[in-house]
Amino acid sequence: MAATEEIIARTAPDKLIDHNLLDSEVESLCDGMVCYEKRPARRRDGSVAEGLYNAWIIFNNPKQYNSYTTDMVKAAILAFRRASVDRAVNAVVFTAVGDKAFCTGGNTKEYAEYYAGNPQEYRQYMRLFNDMVSAILGCDKPVVCRVNGMRVGGGQEIGMACDFTIAQDLANFGQAGPKHGSAAIGGATDFLPVMIGCEQAMVSGTLCEPFSAHKAVRLGIVSDLVPAPKV
């Protein structure tokens, strides 16, 4: 053991290179609508694991059910990259503010005001969205999706890109595309057949009927449920 530590000490550089794309002080691109926090990692007995942290990536747009704007997508990509290269981070929690929704997908206000009138721009938007999905899938640390309400549409797609899902028992899940003139091509057509089977994927992707957290557990897209607090 002592010999191993001596070898590491001899071979470790004096100063480690910063692999972030932006300055370490920059945590978000959108005025707090995506928050990045480092919280001390804890062992099973509740004690703090010194020097280790969980990165919490938090959507903060509760008035619009945590739907993501273009700037939020950019910030999420950078946040997952930051968590990947942070040597002190051992896991990521992906969640959102409030108890109404984890995420309901793309921001329909932005869609209506900008993208609907500029269809040539939508390809650019989808490039960013696909990069966000790839950033979650390619994150070097385990990603836990903490679902505190609706996980619908694009929110379902980015949630399924995570490694684990823990949901409150009153949450609900599903797709929304065909009901609103869109299609579930941001990940659901890839993830759902693999995760819940082709028949249930067809039901979810075409009928767009939301289903409960308990059904999500039965289908196999949620690892565990926790009770919602009662007031």
Question: Residue 29: which pLDDT band, with cuts at 50, 70 and 90?
Answer: very low
**Residues 66, 71, 77, CA angle at the centre, nearest 5°?**
90
Task: Find out whether 92 and 141 touch, Cβ atoms under 8 Å.
Answer: yes
**pLDDT given at position 214:** 96
Fold of 22-40+50-174+211-226: 2-enoyl-CoA Hydratase; Chain A, domain 1 (3.90.226)
Strand order in the sheet with 48-59: 34-42, 48-59, 89-96, 143-147, 164-168, 224-226
CA 28 to each of CA 20, 31, 32, 134, 152: distance values in angstroms, whole numbers, following the listed order: 13, 7, 7, 19, 24
- Between 129 and 119, name the one with better pLDDT: 129
Question: How does pLDDT run across 100-126, given as a tens digit for each residue?
Answer: 999 999 999 998 899 888 888 988 999
Instruction: Express each pLDDT in 89-98 by its tens digit.
Output: 999 999 999 9
Tracing tokens 């793309």 back to the chain, one arrives at 106
Bridge partners of 36, per DSSP, are 57
Encoded tokens for 155: 């929110």
Rounded average pLDDT over 11-20? 75
pLDDT for 2 beyond 80: no
| pLDDT band of 26, cuts 50, 70, 90 | very low
Could you count the other beta carbons within 10 Å of the beta carbon of residue 169? 13
Confidence of residue 208 (pLDDT cuts 50, 70, 90): confident
**pLDDT score, position 183:** 73
If you average pLDDT over residues 37-43, what whole number do you get? Answer: 95
Q: What is the model's pLDDT at position 31?
A: 54
What's the mean pLDDT when you consider all of the chain? Answer: 88
Task: Place 11 in a pLDDT band, splitting at 50, 70 and 90.
Answer: low
CA distances from 188 to 6, 50, 200, 219 (A): 49, 38, 12, 14
